[in-house]
Chain A
Amino acid sequence: MSQALTRYHALFESLRSRRVKPKVPSGVDMAFGRVLMRAKNRRINIAWLRDQAQKIDLLSPEFRNCSDGVLDEHITRAREVFVRGRADEEAVRRALALTRETARRITGEEPYLVQLMGALALYHGRIIEMLTGEGKTLTGSIAAPLLAWRYRRLHILTVNDYLAARDAQSRGQLYRRCLCDVGAIVQETEEHERFEIYARPIVYGTPKQITADWLRDQIRMGPVNTPWTGRQSLMTAGRSGGPMIPGLHAAMVDECDAVLIDEGVVPLIIARSRREHDMANIYRDAARIAAKLDEGPDYSIEHVYRRSELKRRGQHRARQMFDELPDSIWRATRRAEELVRQALVARHCYVNGRQYQVVDGKVMIVDEYTGRFLADRSWEHGLHQAVEAKEGLDVTADRETLARMSFQRFFRSYPFLSGMTGTAADATGEMESVYSRPVIVVPTNRPVIREQWPMRVFRTQEAKWRAIADSVAELHAKGRPVLVGTRSVAASELISRLLESIGLPHRVLNANFDKDEAELIAAAGYGREHGREASITVATNMAGRGTDIKPDDAAKKAGGLHVILTELHGAKRIDRQFIGRSGRQGDPGSAQIFVSLEDELVRLHTPRLARLVSRRVAATGDELPSASHAWLFRLAQSRSEKRDRINRASVLRQDDWMDKYLPGH
């Protein structure tokens, strides 16, 4: 299919979608808006979906036996209806029955009723919650052609490049059969290829890639916001041939709670180095001054907000040290103190192995949500340089931001948005208020038989780690595969050393060792069989999303995969995701959470309570009764969730303010 686009056409499309910016309601408006949205959307509920899915199921025999040629003809006709915007319920049912049949013929998997329900909900712009292992990929792929027909272009956002490329590849045949060309945008895709791929009806990609391309369009096209200015910019500087992304039409987001919520406010930044003046010495000096100051008398650190404050004595001491330095920047006291405060934050709030990792003399940021390195990314406004100076590495040049965009803001620009995830229900409120997307929980095809073992609470971290190692050893002896989830690279390495010391063979999956990820995941589900030991896998959040660990028969017999969570995460959803690695598709499995009163979560969010509890139980031994202490951890978690929620709301407000009061964009 040729998708020749004129420059004007592309530009116009691009502008049209740029202008779509739903208002962010607040206060009473927000509550009212949510009520209104619920009222408007109440038609599409589980019962209705089930009813529709059953009707679609009844249509199946009609297509089951027809020849490929006839099927193609049906598809062509169905597409016509959608392209013309005449798709009523009947047409949607027929089309879904068609894509279902096509999927069956091409991949051999026939979507279940629940998957039909999910696909239908996706078509109606819902965020669906489908438990992991229920075949979200298939669900999405039978809804995608319908959306591409109706909205002309559909972006399907996946978690990583690997999945994007894989899905575009594996689903390509299905889509092409449905008259939709497909392409994938990955890190390595060349720019001239991108122009061509974005023109296709279905585009796979990661949110980062697509948002970044969108930002690059913005930078290239300048402040284009009306058809008039657009025409002007095309006539004067249009040599580059218009925008790369021909407008935002529809998006389907996989793992949408991660993309839209957890990472929603992490801004994606396009920056370039400034080579104007070398600041390396200055950052090093700041780090040196910071090292000389004493916490307590000189400064205080607020870990929750990653903020530091110089006290009077600290100010005095710092100023004395400024006087000895030659650079002129130290004469400007306010700026100089700011540098020192930043150095203090870098020193205390950023820890090697948690927020970043030093690899080959470079500071690599570790994504808090996926546990992966964020290649080519750096913190803003000198923080990155401050961390480099602290680690004694080469200080890179300052970078200046050219454009920035948060996913939250970007995805609100899509006129049509739907998504799927294993854990959406916990984020219903935000999905509804920020994105105006209702959430629907699709029932599972087979019941989940995973056992949730009670949380174990310890007084100290040390006791916790020992207990985890013991628990791993015990389960290993039973021949069950075990997955140990940690929050940071450092923690994964700690437990790895511990397991080594008691002689348990295991493999580690974290940002440092991600080369053989696929192989490692494949092996993670092995039970004990023919002289092969059951696998023990220690992983950061890298294994938390989108990974499919399949227990083999031996493992299933032994009781399935056991997941140990060594710490509670900042949000309940992330815990649920990780635990969801076991007990997939009706497989047996179990999970257990280990926490201690010294964990970062309680230290940051309920410091006083944690200390109080710790003092009260000092005499009772290392392990505390779970039933009477779990509340503390849940409280800390809900506080952490609340803090993040407030943070996201304030970013949204700021973005809005900028849009409203600043010229351009």
Chain B
Amino acid sequence: MTAERPTFSPFWHRVRAMTPRLRPQVQITRQHYRGMRWHVAHDPTTNQFFRLSPIANEFVGLLDGTRTVEQTWELVLSRYGDHAPTQNEIISLLSQLYNSNLLRVDHSPETEQLLGRGKERTKKKVQQQAIGLMYFRVKIFNPDRALAWLEPILRPILNPVGLIAWFILLIAALATVLPHWNELVNGFGSAVAPSNWGWIMAVFVVTKVIHETGHGVICRRFGGQVPEMGVMMLVLLPSPYVDASACWAFESKYRRMAVGAGGMIFELFVASLAAFLWTATRDTGGLAHQLAYNAMLTSGVSTVLFNANPLMRFDGYYILSDLLEVPNLMMRSTMMLNHLAQRSIYRVKNATPPSSVPGEQAILIVYGIGALIYRLFLFVSITLYIMGKLFAIGLILAVWTAAMWFILPVGKFVHWIATSPQLAEFRPRAIATSLALLIAGALIIGAIPMPDHRTAGGVVESDQTTGLFFGADGFVAKVHARPGDFVKQGEPIITCESPELAAQLKLADAMLAEARSTEQQAVAKNETANAQVARGRVEAIEAQITQARQRAERLVVRAPFDGVVVGADPANFVGSYMKEGKPICEFVNPARLRVAASLTQAEASWLFELPRDQFSVEMRTLSQIDRFIDGANVRIVDAGQRQLRHEALAYSGGGTIETEQQTDQRSAPQAKQHLWWVYVDAKDAAQFVAGSAPGERVRLRFTLPSKPWLSQWIDRLQKAIQGRVTI
């Protein structure tokens, strides 16, 4: 069904006698989109753009400042007939051009209107910034001169050969880094440690400045101006930006794409260099190693998550948009979805689709759905993450974003349903349809039971675990077992030697012999009193000897049960003199492993409400994240305090529990809230033994009886708020 396009407009008289023309500085370039020719009008002084269809372009081209709008329209009408724009379309074209400041209407100074338009634009800008609180931008300076200096220097490598070289470098960097994958993964823990935050930030800023410079340089390379550089708040993270919009007027789509990709190219170049540095300093460690890691991390993560991702309006989006030759992809895909909803759900007859080219329509639909899902996912995960860290700010942000992304559109939608003239005839049906959809949605959320999962962080530990200590002062002579070695009960783990003790024993033996002979002499002489004294001495010396023997025995530290050495490596002590009671290492029984978790009261309250047989638990160790271990025999212990079961469960250790600021490095971290300790055994102990080591981090996943989503959410929200308010 073709949409109605009335030829005449009642407002035609307001434009018909005008003799407008494009402002002299406006340049028009040609671009092709999906085989269709378009023209982009660009005013370099104000950096305003406007896309014109060929007919609109011809119309605008015919406006020469002497012809009236009406004469021009009639000319176009006689040339194109049905395809010519209608009066309404001309009016909206003129007003859009005029409001983009691309059109000069007459010679009289229209200060007031110019000011009015300026104000209007400023107001709009402010409104947009308020809406995108998460994407706030501040202009800092004009980088054009700096780029004009830099670009000729880099020009020799800004060509296909350079691109290929860059690609080879990238592959080489990947090839050097990938063999050390495990190290890379392990490095993450120390990278996100608070001590590294400052460095991460610094490296982030540097790589991003290089990134933006990349856009700017390539934009300059193809003749575009870069008038603005500044800082943009990206989800609370300040990040630099440049205005390379001049590239929109480039004729070749590959050049536009090159500008879009320029940032990532430059940034990944730096990341590649960092990769070489990181590999080279792998053995020495130190700051350079850490910084190189930071650079790889920030560029890698930001490139994959943001820049290259076409579902957000970053580089990837523009590249994709140019590649597919679908301009305004985001907006038009939203419009397309709206249009589909209008047409198929509400059966609006006169709805105009944002695109009439079938291929483009398909792209718009696919992209629209993808972007919608991604946006939802991103919203939920970002706000949940921030709420986890900074509850109040997260809550405000969540409410704000929800308002902007959901409540506002819903309000607009209700307004549309209630007042849209398009729906005038079938408003009752439209309302009924919406209500039906709403009820269906409400049923899914509020009535149909859905699986309910809760997660917690835990640590593998053994039921039977003990610290091993030196039993006597001595030099460590021999180590029989290293961490991870299995030791049978009674077998030695570490052997110490004490020359002092040996000498002591020798002396004691000699003294005993002497005392015994004294005793015998006395008995032989029948000096009862002397014999008695000598007897006592013998006994005393004998006792001394026994004691010394025992100590000598304790020089050998033996396994108290069948178990494994964990923790510090006893081999470190070899040769050194150790005092009695000094800890050596931990010793655990791997056959009796369990998982210990610390949960805050809010997190754990359901554990008390629910009978044990109504929920199940699965565990996954971080080293084998894909292997599920069935849990059994859940025990809850009121820790009665705020002490964590294990340091790894705290924020600082990469866990989920908030801890108090630590004043003393040695004391155990204290949680901000009262904690419960929860122990879970493996249903089949063998599953643990197969790969998990004590001390390893574990994700626990409790499966609760299915409940509708709504009650799950309410439950969680209550818990979240409860936890905060009762502080």
CB closest chain-A residue, reference B104: A663
Is there an interface contact between B18 and A663, defined as CB atoms closer than 8 Å? yes
Q: Is the CB of A401 within 8 A of B13?
A: yes
Min C-beta distance of B485 to chain A, whole Å: 74
Instruction: Among B6, B91, B111, point to the contact of A662 (Cβ < 8 A).
Output: B91
Residue of chain A at shortest CB distance from B14: A662
Given contacts A302-B425, A381-B10, contact A331 B81 (CB under 8 A): yes
The total of chain B residues at the interface (CB under 8 A) is: 36
A402 is an interface residue with CB less than 8 A from chain B: yes
Q: Assuming the A-B contacts A305-B424, A662-B98, are A338 and B7 also in contact, with contact meaning beta carbons closer than 8 angstroms in the complex? A: yes
Closest to A333 in B: B82
Which residue from chain A places its CB closest to the CB of B11 in the assembled complex? A658
Q: Is the CB of A400 closer than 8 A to any CB of chain B?
A: yes
* Beta-carbon contact of A228 and B10 below 8 Å: no
Residues 558-588 of A at the B interface (beta carbon under 8 Å): none
Chain A residues, Cβ within 8 Å of B13: 400-404
Q: How many A-B residue pairs have CB under 8 A?
A: 78
Residues of chain A within 8 A of B15, CB atoms compared: 662
Q: Is A225 an interface residue when CB atoms closer than 8 A count as contact?
A: yes
Contact A380 B10, CB 8 Å, known A223-B108, A333-B82: yes
Query: Most chain-A CB neighbours within 10 Å: which of B14, B20, B110, B111?
Result: B14
Residue A654 is within 8 A (CB to CB) of chain B in the complex:
yes
- In Å, the complex CA distance between A333 and B108 comes to 41
- Give chain A residues whose Cβ lies under 8 Å from the Cβ of B98: 661-663
- How far does the alpha carbon of A589 sit from the alpha carbon of B515 in the complex, in Å? 149
A665 touches B (CB below 8 Å):
yes
Contacts A332-B81, A646-B419 known; A404 to B10 CB distance under 8 Å? yes
Inter-chain contact B11/A334, CB cutoff 8 Å: no
Q: A660 vs B113: C-alpha distance in the bound complex, in angstroms?
A: 9
Say whether B112 faces chain A, with CB atoms less than 8 Å apart: yes
Complex contacts, B105 vs chain A, CB 8 Å: 663-664
Q: Name the interface residues of A195-243: CB closer than 8 Å to any CB of B.
A: 223, 225-226, 228-229, 232
Q: Taking CB as reference atom, which chain A residue is nearest B94?
A: A662
- Tell me whether A650 is interfacial, beta carbon within 8 Å: yes
Closest CB in chain A relative to B349 CB, distance in Å: 8
Partner of B109, one of A228, A267, A403, A663: A228
Within 8 A of B (CB), among A346-390: 380-382
Residues 1-55 of B at the A interface (beta carbon under 8 Å):
5-8, 10-16, 18, 20
| A302 partner residues in chain B, CB cutoff 8 A | 425
CB distance from B104 to the nearest CB of A (A): 9
Which residues does chain A contribute within 8 Å of B111, judged by CB atoms? Answer: 226, 228
Q: How far is the CB of B205 from chain A (nearest CB, A)?
A: 42
User: Is B7 touching A661 in the complex (CB atoms < 8 A)?
Assistant: no
In the bound complex, residues from chain B placing their C-beta under 8 Å from that of A9 are: none
Q: Which of B601-641 contact A (CB under 8 A)?
A: none
Bound form: Cα–Cα A650–B6 in Å: 18
Tell me if A225 and B95 are in contact (CB < 8 A): no
Q: Are A661 and B106 CB-contacts (below 8 A) given A646-B419, A650-B421?
A: no
In the assembled complex, the Cα of A646 lies from the Cα of B421 at a distance in Å of 9
Nearest CB in chain B: distance from A397 CB, A: 16
Q: B95 to A662, Cβ gap below 8 A?
A: yes
- What is the CB-to-nearest-CB distance from B438 to chain A, in angstroms, rounded to a whole number? 22
> Is A104's beta carbon under 8 Å from chain B?
no
* A306 beta carbon closer than 8 Å to chain B: no
CA distance A232 to B91 in the complex (A): 27
* Closest B residue, CB atoms, query A403: B13
Known: A333-B82, A662-B91, A662-B98. A229 touches B109 (CB 8 A): yes
- Residues of chain B within 8 A (CB-CB) of A334 are 5, 7, 82
Interface status of A335 (Cβ within 8 A of chain B): yes
Whole-angstrom CA separation of A656 from B425 in the bound complex: 26
- By beta carbon, the residue of chain B nearest A267 is B10
- Taking CB atoms, residues of chain B closer than 8 Å to A665 are 14
B99 within 8 A of A: yes
Residues of B within 8 A of A380 (CB): 8, 10
A654 to B12, CA, bound (A): 13
Within 8 A of A (CB), among B82-128: 82, 91, 94-96, 98-99, 103, 105-106, 108-113, 120
Asked whether B99 lies within 8 Å of A664 as measured between CB atoms, the reply is no
CA distance A658 to B5 in the complex (A): 19
* CB of A319, distance to nearest CB on chain B (Å): 12
Complex interface: chain B residues within 8 A of A382 (CB): 8
Name the B residues within 8 Å of A650 (CB-CB): 421
A265 to chain B minimum Cβ distance, whole angstroms, is 11
CB closest residue in chain A, given B113: A663
Instruction: Return B20 CB to nearest CB of chain A, in Å.
Output: 8
CA distance A50 to B310 in the complex (A): 71
Q: Which of B109-156 contact A (CB under 8 A)?
A: 109-113, 120
Q: Which of A389-406 contact B (CB under 8 A)?
A: 400-404
Most B Cβ at <10 Å: residue of A225, A302, A381: A381
Question: A664, B424: Cβ atoms under 8 Å?
Answer: no
**In the complex, which residues 295-326 of chain A have their Cβ closer than 8 Å to any Cβ of chain B?**
302, 305
The contact string, 1 if C-beta is below 8 Å from chain A, for chain B 285-324, is 0000000000000000000000000000000000000000
Pair A335/B82 contact, Cβ less than 8 Å: yes
Tell me which residues across on chain B come within 8 A of A331, comparing CB atoms.
81
Contacts of A654 in B (CB 8 A): 11
Most buried by B among A229, A403, A654: A229
Contact A332 B82 (CB under 8 A): yes
Instruction: Please give the distance in Å from B43's CB to the nearest CB on chain A.
Output: 16
With both beta carbons as reference points, the residue of chain A lying nearest to B13 in the complex is identified as A401
How long is the Cα–Cα vector from A381 to B14 in the complex, in angstroms? 15
Bound CA span A402–B120, Å = 29
- Those of B70-88 within 8 Å (CB) of chain A: 81-82
Give the Cβ gap from A335 to chain B, nearest Cβ, in Å.
6
Bound Cα distance from A302 to B424, whole angstroms = 11
- With A232-B108, A646-B419, A661-B98 as known contacts, state yes or no: A381 contacts B113, CB within 8 Å: no
A residues near B91, Cβ cutoff 8 Å? 662
Find B18's partner among A381, A401, A664 (CB 8 Å cutoff).
Answer: A664
Bound complex: CA of A226 vs CA of B114, how far in Å? 12
Q: How far apart are the CA atoms of A223 and B19 in the complex, in Å?
A: 12
A646–B420 alpha-carbon span in the complex (Å): 10
A131 to chain B, nearest CB (A): 35
A33–chain B nearest beta-carbon distance, Å? 18
- Against B, the Cβ 8 Å flags (1 = close, 0 = not) of A22-45 are 000001000000000000000000
A229 is contacted by which of B16, B103, B108, B415 (Cβ under 8 Å)?
B108
Contact across chains for A661 and B95 when beta carbons are under 8 A apart: yes
CB distance from B410 to the nearest CB of A (A): 15
Residue of A with least CB distance to B2: A334
1/0 per residue, CB under 8 A from B, across A495-539: the answer is 000000000000000000000000000000000000000000000
A163 to chain B, nearest CB (A): 30
> How far does the Cβ of B48 sit from chain A's closest Cβ, in whole Å?
15
Instruction: Identify B112's interface contact among A226, A381, A660, CB under 8 A.
Output: A226
| Residue with the greatest number of chain B CB neighbours at <10 A, chosen from A228, A302, A382 | A228
Determine the chain B residues whose CB is within 8 A of the CB of A404 once the complex forms. Answer: 10-11, 13
Q: Give complex CA distance A333, B81 in Å.
A: 9
Q: Which B residue's beta carbon lies closest to that of A302?
A: B425
Across the A-B interface, the 7 shortest Cβ-Cβ residue pairs? A661-B95, A401-B13, A663-B105, A332-B81, A381-B8, A334-B82, A229-B108
- What are 15 A-B pairs with beta-carbon distances under 8 A? A223-B106, A225-B113, A228-B108, A229-B109, A267-B10, A335-B7, A338-B6, A338-B7, A380-B10, A381-B10, A403-B13, A662-B11, A662-B14, A662-B95, A664-B105
Contacts A646-B419, A663-B18 supplied; 11 other A-B pairs, CB < 8 Å: A223-B108, A229-B109, A332-B82, A334-B5, A400-B16, A654-B11, A662-B94, A663-B98, A663-B113, A664-B18, A665-B14
Residues of chain B whose beta carbon lies under 8 Å from any beta carbon of chain A? 5-8, 10-16, 18, 20, 81-82, 91, 94-96, 98-99, 103, 105-106, 108-113, 120, 415, 419, 421, 424-425
Which residues of A line the B interface, CB within 8 A? Answer: 27, 223, 225-226, 228-229, 232, 267, 302, 305, 331-335, 338, 380-382, 400-404, 646, 650, 654, 658, 660-665
